[in-house]
Structure 1
């Protein structure tokens, strides 16, 4: 029987080692904290039966904060610079960001946001600084699902 691949490995596959390692370490740290909070706090115990979902959404939220938000920043940066200077290519070191690449990045961002919308996930998924806020978002999401 094949061993199940951890979801964080799927999210970080193909990323540069330094970024993937950073994401993996944050995921491991926050997951340990989340498990502790869920098992020790009555407020979050509703999530005990949904640990796989917590793991998945935690990995997704960290990927969003570390990868997708940077792609969004790159698109916004390109749009701002090109509107002021009317240039078609922005050179950052040896890398050249063109309008076509900006459009590809924008396409990825739009598709990603559509996926989130299809599953009823909002910016609350990634709008947290402490793990408790992330878990509170999941508790509210679960209650909303339960009540209709």
Structure 2
């Protein structure tokens, strides 16, 4: 599922994201396989979990960096006469910062449209991610059952 998000990214980043996804998906499969009753019922939602996991990795590895870069460089460009900022080996212009901002806003709108809280993507361990997915799923079921 991660391939949906890494298609046009630099090789080194795609390699890191693929490794993280594969490692975490192995953990997910272990937890939902029946070894842990708390997570076993999530097995029927494995495709959704795979998509949410891929989204979370994309968010954490790409979009949070975009957000930080746009906030930092945006302030500098707005308060100076500079027309671009060099970050590492890359020059960010106001146009590129604007494109990055649009990407972040589009992602956040999609998450809002589908009622996916960004807090779902804030985790360190896969077990914590699954716990959040379970709570999220249970809250959706509760909302759907109450009309």
TM-score by length of 1: 0.89
Which residue of the other structure, out of 110, 114, 121, is the alignment partner of 2:105?
110
| More displaced 10-residue stretch of structure 1: 131-140 or 85-94 | 85-94
**Does residue 28 of structure 2 align to residue 26 of structure 1?**
no
- Runs ≥4 in structure 1, deviation > 3 angstroms? 83-86
* In 2: Cα distance, 1:84 partner to 1:128 partner: 35
Aligned residue in 2 for 1:4: none
Aligned residue in 2 for 1:52: 47
Count of residue pairs the alignment pairs up? 142
| Structure 1 residues without counterparts, runs of 5 or longer | 1-6
**Does residue 68 of structure 2 align to residue 73 of structure 1?**
yes
* In 2: Cα distance, 1:82 partner to 1:134 partner: 37
Aligned residue in 2 for 1:15: 9
- Cα deviations across residues 9-45 of structure 1 (Å, max 9, x unaligned)? 1211121111101100000000001111122111112
Distance 1:133-1:88 versus aligned 2 partners, 3 A rule: same
TM-score by length of 2: 0.89
RMSD (CA atoms) = 1.5
